[in-house]
Amino acid sequence: MNDKSSLMIAFILVIAAFARSASANNIAVTNVVLRPVDASSVYVQADVRWDNSWRLSWIETGVTPNLKISNWDAAWIFVKYRVNGGNWNHASLSTRRKDHVVPSGAAVSVGLSKKNGVNFGSGVFLHRKVNGSGSWTNTVRLCWNFTQDGVASTANVDVSVFAIEMVYVPQGSFYVGDGTKCGGTLCSNMAATVPFLISSEAAITLGGGGDGSLGNQNAGGDVRDDFNNTMSKTLPAEFPKGFNSFYCMKYDVTQGQWVDFFNMLTDSQKTSRDITDKSGKGADSDINRNTVSWTSGDATCTTPDRGCNFLNWADGIAYADWAGLRPMTELEFEKACRGPLHPVTGEYAWGSTVAERTKAITNDGTRCEMALNGNSNWYDRGGYGGPLRAGIYATASSTRQSSGATYWGILDMSGNLLKRTVSIGSENNRKFIPELGDGSIGSDGNANAQFWPVAAGSRGGHFFDWCDRMPVSWRDFANYQVSQRWATAGFRAVRQAPEGE
At 325-373, the pLDDT tens digits run: 999 999 999 999 999 999 999 999 999 998 888 888 899 999 889 888 7
Q: pTM for the whole thing?
A: 0.95
Question: What would the pLDDT profile of 247-292 be if each residue is shown by its tens digit?
Answer: 999 999 999 999 999 999 999 999 999 999 999 999 999 999 999 9
CA distances from 408 to 97, 169, 352, 368, 400 (A): 25, 7, 14, 24, 9
Confidence at residue 25, expressed as pLDDT on a 0 to 100 scale: 65
Q: What are phi and psi of 255, to 5 degrees?
A: -65, -35
CA distance 96 to 26: 29
Closest by CA position to 71, among listed 168, 150, 154, 149: 168
Q: Are 470 and 415 in contact (CB under 8 A)?
A: yes
pLDDT for residue 5: 32
Q: Which amino acid is at 391?
A: G
Task: Give me the amino acid identity at 472.
Answer: V
Instruction: Write phi, then psi, for 110 (nearest 5 degrees).
Output: -95, 130
Distance CA 492, CA 465 (A): 19
Q: For residue 166, how many other CB atoms are within 10 A of its CB?
A: 27
Non-local CB neighbours of 208 within 8 Å, separated by 6+ positions: 189, 227, 229, 230, 231, 232
Residue-level pLDDT at 476: 85
Mean pLDDT of all residues belonging to the chain:
90
* 332: enclosing H helix or E strand: helix 330-338
Nearest to 82 by CA among 466, 460, 440, 445: 440
> 301 — phi, psi (to 5°)?
-155, 150
* pLDDT score, position 352: 93
Encoded amino acid at 89, one letter: N
E strands along 427-474, which residues? Answer: 457-459
Residue pair 224/480 in contact by the 8 Å Cβ criterion: yes
Which pLDDT does position 382 carry in this prediction? 55
The domains of the chain, with CATH numbers, are 5-167 (no CATH), 249-501 (3.90.1580)
pLDDT, residue 326, reads 98
Cα 250–Cα 364–Cα 315 angle in degrees, nearest 5? 45
What span, in angstroms and rounded, lies between the C-alpha atoms of 251 and 50?
14
pLDDT beneath 50: ranges in the chain: 1-24, 220
Cα–Cα distance for residue pair 8/24, rounded to 1 Å:
36
Residue 417, helix vs strand vs coil: coil
Helix or strand (DSSP H, E) at 77:
strand 67-83
